[in-house]
Amino acid sequence: MSKTFLMGNEAFAHAALEAGVKVCAGYPGTPSSEVLETIAKAHAQGKAEGVHVEWSTNEKAALEMLAGAAYSGARTLFTCKQVGLNVASDALMSLNYVGVEGGTVLFVADDPGPISSQTEQDTRRFASFAKVPVFDPATPEQGCAMIKTAYDVSERYHTPVIVRPTTRVCHASTFIDIEDTTQAKPAKGFEKDSKWVIFPKRSFEAHGEINDRLPKIAADFSACEFNPIEVVSFGQDAEADSTASRDVPVQVSAQEPASDQVPTIGVVAGGISYAYVREALRIIEQLAREAHVALSAVKLMQVGTPYPFPAQRAEEFVQGLEAIMVFEELDHVLEDEFLKLAGQIHAPYTVHGKLTGETTARGENTTDDIAAQLIAFMQLPLSLEGRGMVAQTPIPARPPVLCAGCPHRGSFIAVKNALAAMGKKHEGVYCGDIGCYTLGNAKPLSTVDTCLCMGAGITIAQGITAVDPNRKAVAFVGDSTFFASGMTGVANAVYNGHDITLVVLDNATTAMTGSQPHPGTGVTLVGEHRKPLSIDAVLQALGVEKIIHANPLKAHDAIEAAREAIGFEGPSAVIYESPCTALIAPQAPVEFDEDACTHCTKCVSRLGCPALSWDRENRHPLIDTSLCTGCGLCAELCSDGALACPTQADSTDQSCPSSNAQEA
Amino acid sequence: MISVSIAGIGGQGNVLAAKILAQAAKTKGWQVRTAETIGMAQRGGDVISHVRMGNNHEEVYAPLPAKGSVDVVIALEPGEGARALPYLKENGLLVVPQSGIAPSTADLKADPYNPAAVIDALAAQGVAVSVVDDQALCDALGTRKALNIMMLAHAINVVNADPRFEHNELRNAISMDELREAIVACVKEKFVTMNLTAVDLVLQSAKVYKI
Ligand code: SF4
Ligand code: SF4
């Protein structure tokens, strides 16, 4: 046992290992990726005995693989981000009916904000839709305790269980006690039984079993430590912070409050909002002390198990309350439950929250917002005005951009140039996808016209040409996304004869989420080497008849490749191959020859490379040598030979063939 | 409660600086929580780390601080100091390096970024800002890799020494030796000497700053 400084996700990995998890799988996605990486690291160090851990090709593959392991009695861990559960949902919905033998925990990270996601969907809703229990931690420590309990619940009731932290819990760090070594629980292996086969008749029975167990789980939840209730009273002239002195949440039933301290106001919080509420109450107490305002006690409840809702516990909580304010991110899940409860028990309390417009409807909660909302709710003569200064000076915006030297920049420029050279009537539609390359939508590249979900660029392009057959629709897909969810789309294009051009941006990694390997790299999460899956061979097998390979940083070849593929009638593909800058050492930076420069500005205005900026005074590009990777793309595109890459031979005498054609 | 925020740009090492502070807090026996930005924001975007330490043995609930509650903001870039300003307490300390990092833009008409003007504006609006001649320090060290540690050491040095910060929560909470110990515990062995030299350089040149 040692106290270690861990990020939430690292801590959760250790909690699962300590619970004896045996088979772990998932697909990378912020904010969930570090969990499996931590397990793989512990495995590599020989600290996690008997564990199998893998990045699967996508979430659905991961969960189905784990289902097999769970049928065989192993404790399993599935990880993904919230939208990843959409992909795995087909498996999850039925898995709950079939049931599991070994404890099965789905770690699904939600992303309020959203900070790096395409939706603000709420996995608590998914849990109730799938009729699967869900835990919602407020802190990394609590999340660890929940994961261990989740395995017990899963095995006791043969149900998959979801643990859904949010970004701020996943990426918060603190010191946590972890076991130095762990041992996976042995599994007895697969035993044949008709229950593993889902048939309508069996489903009907299973639905009854689910309906029977959910109230039992709700009762367990009502009695568990994750739904604490306490009375927060504020000492009138206490020097010390009274909310702070109560480390352990006090159960209201165990407490005999003085009669003037019987609260009529309740506050309910889920997830990290619970931590914010505690902080906000601290701020309110301090403000009240300074303003000599008396505060009456409030009753506070955290709901750490939103589904099945711990109604008995909540009923205890609402006793004597006149009004309740609910703080939660994403959907109004808890708010709905307290409204329902009021109806069920004919309670007189009112419920305040997202539905009444009194709390934040979308995006993240903050301590500040919650403090202001509580002050209004409690009708206190206090103000948060003047807390926090605002800089009286413009602050430079720093939107995320493709890295200096990113090969995707070359691919986008090549396709854009090829289309421009083919004339106005070929104005292309750029169907983008999920990954670093979504950043291609930013100026000056402007080469992402659509982005929906993993793999959708390929199929959206087909719909666009179905409506407008003369439109050139180009679909961009990363190598990892191709294997995760691109292949069925390609099959559809070939089968239904959609004339699209697929551009595979093969940078040999899953870059966006921190350089994870994938089937095309041949390397697994634990570092085993297999024969890499060939994108070319897959495309050929799927019936794509025109496939061209090019280096996206060699502008001439890259443009030619795009032109040939786009000009081909029928589904075609360009595979641009060049590694992500995170995988390779930078080369000597590009050199600038002032005498050769004609001040055309193209290098800066067309590339958007963060290593290049424009010197307005001297009218020439400036190279940030600390950022430049010497990728050579700007040298390729400078038709005047003013930029030269020392390590990219013959790059200076190769001008961009259609650099003048591209005036868009 | 001591709160420190470290604001910079992806790759400047604010996460390590936060970890070092957390380590120092742990040695003191305080509860500590930190928050970081990970994901999209890393691709050239601004990143901020927060460290919250229960120096009065109070419980730290949330990893993120409220507005106007941070004792010291350590900026690794002047504009990022301005961006993090809403977190700073009214009498808190802001430390910034002199050199800025221009945002990447393909817009040729954009006004050039002027970090000195940002620093002047912050000082003019009454922020207690301490400026570090980072170029001189990094030249002396021979690398910019330890800028994060230099700014951290500078912040602790100023808050401990400057009478204006007599009521700052961080004042005398962490000594230079405790900082050094935390550095040794947190950085890779081959970088320990470089980072400790960085701290020494900051202390040697401290007298030249207006603190
Ligand atoms: S991480 Fe790799 S793929 Fe992503 S923007 Fe940077 S170079 Fe491009
Ligand atoms: S060579 Fe040119 S395009 Fe490539 S990173 Fe350097 S400045 Fe950017």
pLDDT, tens digit (0-9, with 9 covering 90-100), for A136-182: 999 999 999 999 999 999 999 999 999 999 999 999 999 999 999 99
Does B64 contact chain A (CB < 8 Å)? yes
Cβ of A630 less than 6 Å from ligand 2: yes
Q: Is pLDDT above 50 for B38?
A: yes
Inter-chain CB proximity A398 and B103 less than 8 Å: yes
Q: Between the CA of residue A640 and those of A410, A420, A553, A594, A620, what are the distances in Å?
A: 19, 21, 18, 11, 13
Where does the pLDDT of residue A244 fall: very low under 50, low under 70, confident under 90, or very high at 90 and above?
very low
Residue type, A339: L
Please report the atom of ligand 2 found closest to the CA of residue A404: 5
Q: Which amino acid is at A85?
A: L
Cβ contacts of B61 on chain A, cutoff 8 Å: 139, 274-276, 278-279
pLDDT at A243 exceeding the cut of 50: no
At residue A470, the pLDDT reads: 87
**Where do the domains of chain B lie?**
2-210
What's the pLDDT at A257? 52
Express each pLDDT in B150-195 by its tens digit.
999 999 999 999 999 999 999 999 999 999 999 999 999 999 999 9
Asked: is A2-222 a CATH 3.40.50.170 domain? The reply is no
Across A251-255, A496-500, B51-55, least confident range: A251-255
- pLDDT (average), residues B74-78: 97
Q: What pLDDT sits at residue B97?
A: 97
Please give the mean pLDDT across all residues of chain B. Answer: 92
Q: Is the CB of A582 under 6 A from ligand 1?
A: yes
Region B12-33 average pLDDT: 95
Whether residue B112 lies within 8 A of chain A, CB to CB, comes out as yes
Three-state SS string across A322-380, please? CEEEEECCCCCHHHHHHHHHHHHHCCCCEEECCCCCCCCCCCCCCHHHHHHHHHHHCCC
- CATH 3.40.50.970 residue ranges of chain A are 2-222, 407-584+658-663
pTM above 0.80? Answer: yes
Is the pLDDT at A660 greater than 80, yes or no?
no
A611 CB near ligand 1 (under 6 Å)? no
- B residues 142-161 lying closer than 8 A (beta carbon) to A: 144
CA A356, CA A362: separation in Å to the nearest integer? 13
pLDDT recorded at residue A259: 55
pLDDT-based confidence at A656, cuts 50/70/90? very low
Helix (H, G, I), strand (E, B) or coil at B129: strand
Our answer on whether the CB atom of A628 is closer than 6 Å to any ligand 2 atom is yes
- The CA distance from A566 to A502, in Å, is 9
- What residues contact A59, with CB distance under 8 A and at least 6 apart? A26, A27, A78, A80, A84, A85, A87, A88
Q: Average pLDDT, stretch B41-64? A: 89
What residue in B sits closest to A611 (Cα-Cα)?
A: B104
What is A407-584+658-663's CATH superfamily?
Thiamin diphosphate (ThDP)-binding fold, Pyr/PP domains (3.40.50.970)
Mean pLDDT of B35-64: 86
The reported pLDDT for the residue numbered A513 is: 85
- Structure ipTM over 0.85, yes or no: yes
Residues ≥6 apart with Cβ < 8 Å to B208: B133
Q: What CATH number is given for A229-377 in this structure? A: 3.40.50.920
Q: How far apart are CA B187 and CA A420, in angstroms?
A: 51
pLDDT for A657 equals 35
The pLDDT confidence band at residue B198, using thresholds 50, 70 and 90, is very high
DSSP state of A236: S
CB B69: neighbour CB atoms within 10 A?
Answer: 24
Give me the residues paired with residue A462 across strands.
none
Read off the pLDDT band of A338 (50, 70, 90): very high
Q: Which option is the CATH number for B2-210: 3.90.1150.10, 3.40.920.10, 3.40.50.2000, 1.10.1660.10?
A: 3.40.920.10
Strands A620-623 and A612-615: what pairing? antiparallel
What is the structure's pLDDT at A288? 96
Region A591-650: CATH code: 3.30.70.20
> Could you tell me if A448 and A440 are in contact, meaning their C-beta atoms sit under 8 angstroms apart?
yes
pLDDT of residue B117: 96
The shortest CB-CB distance from A367 to any of B38, B62, B144 is to B62
